[in-house]
Amino acid sequence: MFCTTEGACLERLIAIAKPILLKSERKHPIVGPGRKPEIPDWVLALLILSATLKKKKTKSAQFRWISSNRRHFERHLDGHRLPSRSTYFDRFKKAHSIMDESILLMGQKAVHSGWADASITAIDKSLMVAKGPKWWKGDRLKNRIPKKLRGVDQDSQWGFSSHHGWVQGYSFEVVVSCGKNGVVFPLVASADVASMSEHRSFGQKIRRIPQCTRYVLADAGYDNNEFADQIELKGERKTGKWFLCPQNSRGQKGKLVAPKGEFESKRKYATRLRRAQRRMAFKSKLSQKHFRPRSQCIEPFNEWFKSAFELNERVWHRGIENNRTQVLSCIFAYQVLVSLNCKQKKPSGQIKPILDAL
């Protein structure tokens, strides 16, 4: 069935997602030499989103379901035809760029509509297990795949977290709203291999954090002076935002003097001073009060999200490009489902009944 038994039809979800996808493509049109593709990116993204909502876990299953519902999709594609099997498979790998922009635009819409309160935001990374057998370090260094490891995902990497331990696979990083007057809503997201460091991935998201954000909450894995300066300072002026993050020990125990015998520039001293001030500010009762919502929103969100889209056991595909598209599509689908509940004034977190009924 193309509609759910409870009346929350797939058409309603498509109606929410389509304007966002169109706007996303207008902001980032296809440029460069050669003829532009006959089927625009937003059409591919809409088809992938629909198949994701139906939890079709392989590209073959997705394409078969799309083809069997050709008549239903034709009235949503503005005269564009459906892609062939080879076109769908090839362009699936590149659809993560429009999904990434759509997540940002949907987050902005949620904040503007009052569904999400972005005065407090939290950032976190979560790991996902890859498909196939485990490819251990010794074989990786020799670039050797024994016969018993046929089917291993060669793009996957090993990563470690205090919650999951060592995991071979992929990761996603998401910024969510944690304000009291709204729902927990993804605002910015990315997907990569499990070994991707937070010190590389978060820097690209700082400029995408909403202007209305006052507090950015993170765990000790994000302890970075440059991140804090980018959030809290613009030139020499303060932005009014605060980066609340527990600090890792760096051997100086908070001292404001340089190690003995070491020359320290004014710039380095200023950085050391700001770091010490942040350490003292983080320990204050007010900062702890604002930091407390992090454990109540971002960590439960990761579990809700992975459980809703059955990513808690393993990812859906092999290869970094395939999984980047799929994970970002799942996050965008989560936004669309929460938006539908907000529009209908239903409990925002109850998206699993809609998914199960689709």
97 and 126 part of one domain: no
Residue 136 lies in a domain: yes
217 and 324 part of one domain: no
Per-residue pLDDT at 262: 56
93 and 123 part of one domain: no
The domain tally of the chain equals 2
278 and 250 part of one domain: yes
123: burial class by Cβ within 10 Å (0-12, 13-18, 19+)?
Answer: buried
Per-residue pLDDT at 3: 47
136 and 212 part of one domain: yes
192 and 91 part of one domain: no
Residue 91 lies in a domain: yes
pTM of the model: 0.90
Per-residue pLDDT at 338: 93
pLDDT-flagged residues of the chain (< 50): 1-8, 254, 256, 261
Length, in residues, of the chain: 358
141 and 236 part of one domain: yes
Residue 165 lies in a domain: yes
d(CA 240, CA 237): 9
Q: Which domain holds residue 89?
A: 10-101+316-357
Residue environment code for 294-332, b if the CB has 16+ CB neighbours within 10 A, otherwise e:
beebbeebbeebbebbebeebbbbbbbebbbbbbbbbbb
